[in-house]
Structures are given as C-alpha cells and as structure tokens.
Amino acid sequence: MSETAERTPAVAGRPPGSPARENGSWRLLRGLGTLLLRQRELTVFVVVVLLVLYFGVISSTGRAVFFEKADLINLGQIAAPIIIIALGEVLLLICGEIDISVGFIYAFTPFIMYFLIQYYGVPGILAIILALVCAAAIGWVNAFITVTIGVPSFITTLGTGFVLYGLILTMAHGEQAPVSPQVLGIGHWLGTYAFAEIIWAVALVALFHVLLRRTRWGLHTIAVGGNQLGSAEAGVNVARIKYGNFMITAVLGGFVGIQIAFQTNVIDTFSGGAAYQPMFYAVAAAVLGGTSMLGGSGTMIGAFLGAAVLTILQDGFAVLGISAYPLEIFFGGAILISMIASVQLARLRAGGRIKR
Amino acid sequence: MTAEAPQASGTDVLRAEHISKHFGALTALRDVNLHLARGEVLALLGDNGAGKSTLIKILCGFQPPDSGRILLDGHPVTLKSVDHARSLGIDVVYQDLALVNQLSVYHNMFLNRERVRGLLLSNRAMKRLARQYLDEMGVHIPSVETDVAALSGGQRQAIAVARSVFSAAKILLLDEPLAAMGAKEAAMILSLVQDLKSRGDVSIIIIAHNYGQVLDICDRVNLLQQGEITFDKPGKDTSVTELNEIVIEEYRRALQERQRSA
C-alpha cells in the first residue's frame, strides 16, 4: 500500500542554513539513501545480493564453488526452518505479540507423531495431522494465557516453552526417537527430499504474503498491532486475531519440527537450549526484514530475505573455511545495524522528511 | 413519571427519557431527557465532569442506564452493545478517532467493513468508493492511499467522520471533535458538519466544552450541569455570553455552598 503512496511535500522542511551544496552526486546519494530507507525489503535484498557476490566471487577463485548443488541444498535446509517459523513470528509481532516457545513446539510435535504411531497404531498421515492439531492446541494455550488472562506474551511463552521442554524430556526419557517407517512415504514430500523444505518455505512465503496483504485477516492483524483500542472500537475482534496468530505460529513450528525429523531421520529432544535457536533466528530474520517489534508493520518477503542474509552469512563462513566462532558477532551486528536504521527511519518519518 | 417527559414528536430519530446513572454514591446523570430531530444538529455542552461522557456511553450502547429508556424512531430499544447500537444506525466518532496510523486512508475507512471478492480484499473497489465518498463530502487529502499517520489532525477527524457516515450511520455522536484542533482545521470540521446537515440524512450530536465554536452551526443547544440538562434552546436564540453566565453562576453557587459548609 505504501509503495504507491503519493509523495507529498515535506512537512517540516530543513531548517534554513542547512547544507546548501546540493550538487548532483550528493543529491543522488541522498535520494538513494531515502529510497533504501523507505523500501526496507529492497535494502535487505541489496544486502543479500552483495553477500552472494562476495562469497560467490571469493569462493569461485578459491577452494569451493558457492552455487554447486550441494551448496544449494545446504542453504535451503538451513534457511527453510528459519523462514517458515519467521512467517508466524511476523504475524505475531505485527499484532503486538511474540512466541518464545515455538522452538519447543518444534521439538515437541514430532514426538507426538511418533507416540501416536508407535503406541496407538495411528496411521501415518493421520498421526502427522493430529500432531499438528496438538501444536495448534499449544498455540491456543499461549493465546489463552496471553489474551484472556492478560500475561505479556513474552512471559507466557517463556513459561510454556519450559513446560514443553520438560514434557519432551519426561516423555522421551531424554532419548532421541527414530522416525517410524510408516510415515517415510509422506516424509519424502515433507523433508527427506533434498529440496522439499525450501520449496515448502517459498510456497508458504507466497501464501502468507497474500494472507497479510490481501485478506481481511492480514489487514486486521496490522490494525490490531497499530491501534488495538481503535480497532476494537471499529468492531475488529482483537482476541480472535491474536488467538489465530498464536495458533498459526504454533502449527508452523510443529510443521518445521516434523520436516526436520524427516530430514535428519531422527526425532531429537533438542536438549540444552538448542530449541531456542530456531526461534531466535526466526525473530532475527523478521526484524532484519523490517518487522517492527512495536507492532503494526512487517512483511513476509522481508522475513524471507532476512532469513537469506542469516543463512548466507552462516554458510558463507563455512564455505570460506573461516572459523564459525565469530559468526554470531556478525549476526548480532546485522540485527543491531538494522534496528538502528529503523529507529532512525521512524525519527525521520516523524520529522516529515520521508513519507511512507 | 412519564407525564414529565416532553411529548413525542413524529420527527424525532432519537429520544432518551428519564435517564439516570449512578456510580456508587456518585450521581452521574439525573433524570435526563434528550431528543434529536431528523437532520438536526444538537450541541451537548457542559463542563468537564458534567456527565457528557456518561450520556454518550449510554447512547452508543457502551453501558446501560440505571433507569430510563431510549427510543429510536419512536420505538423503545435496549442497546446491548456498541455493535448493536451501530447496527441500529448509532455511531460514535471517539476523541481518539480509532484510526490505525499504519493503514492507508481507504483501509481505515473500510476497517471491519471491507469489500471482498471471495477471500481477497477488493482494494480497487474500496479505493474508488473511498475517493468518491471523500470528494462528495468535500474532504481534501492528497490520496486515499496515504497512510493515516501522514495526515493532519483535522484530516484525521474528517476521515473518522466520513467513515461513520459512510457506514450508513443515521445518528452520529461526535465526541469533542474540535479538541486539540487549530482554527483552520476546526473550521474544516465545522463546514463538514454543515454539509452533512444540509444533506439532511444524518442527525448529529456534537459534544463540546468550548461552546463558542459550535454555536454557529448547531440547531439547538443542551447544557448539561452536574448530571442534569438545565438548558434547552435553539442555537440562534442563545449566545456565548448567556452560556458563559449560566456556567459562571453555577460556579459561584458551588463556591458559596462550599464556603457555607466550611
């Protein structure tokens, strides 16, 4: 919607006495800067292209080629889980909430599938569907505690995350579980096939982009995050939107968990806090892609590109054979820079220098 | 009790009879009678704490009165909720306007009343209708695709009013529409109200504490003092001076009472 907005003259013009040397290249540079600030996805896209060029050029002259099939498979398998979980987090962040527990839902759901098959003889596809229903139920509980009882979602999902973690360890006796042979057929389409996950991820990005931009659900999600009281006064069912988005996020988390189980051919307990990682990466991808932590704005394409940045950095380091230790410093730096840019953007907008 | 109420007239779209409301020991409204004719603009004036907000909340279905009844087009109704009142054609433009800064003008105008084709929003239809409607109302904004955040206070107010009228509201309650508004913007809102009045299909209650501004455009003035309507005159038969004197008189009396009891 903002792309096509007319540019109106600046409300608060520059104070008199500001730089008068508006020569051509300076103006071009400033125009470019403004454009990049206005179009957050474009900024991230440029970063992605630069990273690909950097790692691609360096690696093609060196030991490995960045775009061999094995590299692409690797990239896709790292990126897909981050992307899919980020789609849910974007919806939640836009409507003013967050889900810290999604990594544990991701670890929990494949175990439900496993138990249903092993101990209750449930047929494979039905077991997967029931496991996802179970994930949705966890999302409902998160929403109930947050929306109906009124606990901030950060705290709610911190708590439910620990509960789920304990449940996983108790149920599985702290052991990994094998993937049941009954579901290997469908598993091929979900995660075993090398490109399955990234294909799912791209398809879901398209679907969620339409959901956010072109449906009442998306519009109401933005409205709730932008002005909760106002949307309620306009008759928007705030609780329904939030319940729905918690449940969508949980189902996406569970879905990714099942995909990973098929991909690795084992159901892991993700002990020692490993289950936090997909959630942190997903939120980082959302934020890098321009989703506001304050609610009211965010994009699915941005989250996709944000996940691409994190993935290429991670894989690029591996390809170049650089130690993985400083990697997280780059991640942190990227997040901080992008947040500083967006705070700066908000300030410029408030001053009327940039119109959306 | 009913004998005291003014006789029902055929043209009244809204009547509130013998409305009382208490909050614990506090009496917010005491036997309030209010009527609004079709196409009329009524200014509901009163100082802070006089009971204006309570009356509005009752009229828009936000809370029920302790006693008394509300009639729409002569039929008694019980307003169950804000949504219910809205479905009956009563709509409030709140002081906070209930606009979403992050959404475009047309999405705000259609919020919760979106036009859809199947599952997808028909943005083009909404844009066209919003543009057409704002033009009709004489509201000038750069583009209906502008985010509401970029509009001035007066423009935002106009959008909120347009949204209510647009959604087929027959009775419009404007809660302090001129608060925090510059002279130019206030003039724009007042002319918008005047336009609506000349079209005649909407009846309007303007709530205000600054009566100088609304006196010129309203048909009738009701003054609310300490939960009672103490004054009901056509707008042209009263003046700012008269209203000022009434309010100052009230203040004097209260001061004297306080001094006596002290």
DSSP B81: S
Tokens 């009045």: give the residue. B197
> DSSP character for B43?
E
3-state secondary structure of A96: coil
Neighboring chain B residues of A38 at a CB cutoff of 8 Å:
none
Question: What was the pLDDT predicted at A355?
Answer: 46
Q: In tens digits, what is the pLDDT along chain A, a chain of 356 residues?
A: 333 333 333 333 334 444 445 567 777 777 776 666 566 777 788 888 888 877 776 665 554 556 677 778 888 999 999 999 999 999 999 999 999 999 999 999 999 999 999 999 888 899 999 999 999 999 999 999 999 999 999 999 999 999 999 999 998 888 888 888 878 788 888 888 888 899 999 999 999 999 999 999 999 999 999 999 889 888 889 999 999 999 999 999 999 999 999 998 889 888 767 888 889 999 999 988 888 888 888 999 999 999 998 888 888 777 777 777 777 888 788 778 877 876 777 676 655 544 44
pLDDT at B12: 87
Q: Within a 10 A sphere around the Cβ of A137, how many other Cβ atoms? A: 13
pLDDT of residue A1: 38
Q: Is A352 exposed, middle or buried (0-12, 13-18, 19+ CB in 10 A)?
A: middle
Residues of B with Cβ-Cβ distance to A349 under 8 angstroms: 149
CATH number of B2-261: 3.40.50.300
How high is the pLDDT of residue A53?
A: 78
Distance (Å, rounded) from C-alpha A107 to C-alpha A130? 15
| Pairwise CB contact (< 8 Å): B104 & A229 | no
Across the interface, whether the CB atoms of A222 and B114 are under 8 A apart is answered no
CB-nearest to B103 from A216, A226, A235 is A226
The answer to whether A210 contacts B120, with C-beta atoms less than 8 Å apart, is: yes
pLDDT, mean of residues B248-262: 82
Closest-CA residue to A332 (of A288, A295, A302)? A288
Q: Which residue has the higher pLDDT, B5 or A76?
A: A76
pLDDT given for residue A313 in this prediction: 82
Query: How much is the pLDDT for A64?
Result: 52
Is the interface score ipTM higher than 0.90? no
Compute CA distances B188 → B111, B170, B253, whole Å: 24, 21, 38
Per-residue confidence (pLDDT) for residue B162, from 0 to 100: 82
CA distance B6 to B15: 10
Chain A residues inside the 8 Å CB shell of B83? 235
Facing A8 at nearest CB: one of B114, B121, B142: B142
Of B94, B120, B147, the CB nearest to A356: B147
- Is B181 touching A (CB cutoff 8 A)? no
The reported pLDDT for the residue numbered A37 is 58
Distances from the Cα of A214 to the Cα of A183, A211, B14, B144, angstroms: 35, 6, 39, 17
Nearest CA in chain A to B109: A234
Rg (CA), chain A: 22
Q: How confident is the model at residue B257 (pLDDT cuts 50, 70, 90)?
A: confident
pLDDT score for A23: 66
Residues of A in contact with B84 (CB under 8 A): none
Q: Check residue B9 and give its pLDDT.
A: 52
CA distances to A51, A124, A192, A255, A266 from A108, in Å = 35, 17, 19, 11, 13
Nearest to A55 by CA among A265, A246, A322: A322
A352–chain B nearest CA distance, Å: 8
Per-residue confidence band for B8, with pLDDT thresholds at 50, 70 and 90: very low
**Is B142 at the interface with chain A, CB within 8 A?**
yes
As a whole number of angstroms, the distance between CA B226 and CA B246 comes to 13
- Burial label, A291 (beta-carbon count in 10 A; 0-12, 13-18, 19+): buried
pLDDT digits (tens, 9 = 90+) for B112-158: 889 999 899 999 999 999 998 888 777 888 889 988 988 888 888 88
CA distance A25 to A33: 12
pLDDT at A9: 37
Chain A segment 297-316 residues within 8 A of B by beta carbon are: 297
- Domains and their CATH numbers in chain A: 42-350 (1.10.3470)
More confident residue, A262 or B215: A262
Q: Is A235 helix (H, G, I), strand (E, B) or coil?
A: coil
Residue A17: what pLDDT?
40
* Confidence band, pLDDT 50/70/90 cuts, at residue B189: confident
- pLDDT per position as a tens digit, B51-83: 888 898 899 888 899 999 999 998 999 998 888
Q: Which of residues 222-261 of A touch B (CB under 8 A)?
A: 222-223, 225-227, 229-231, 233-236
pLDDT at B174 over 70: yes
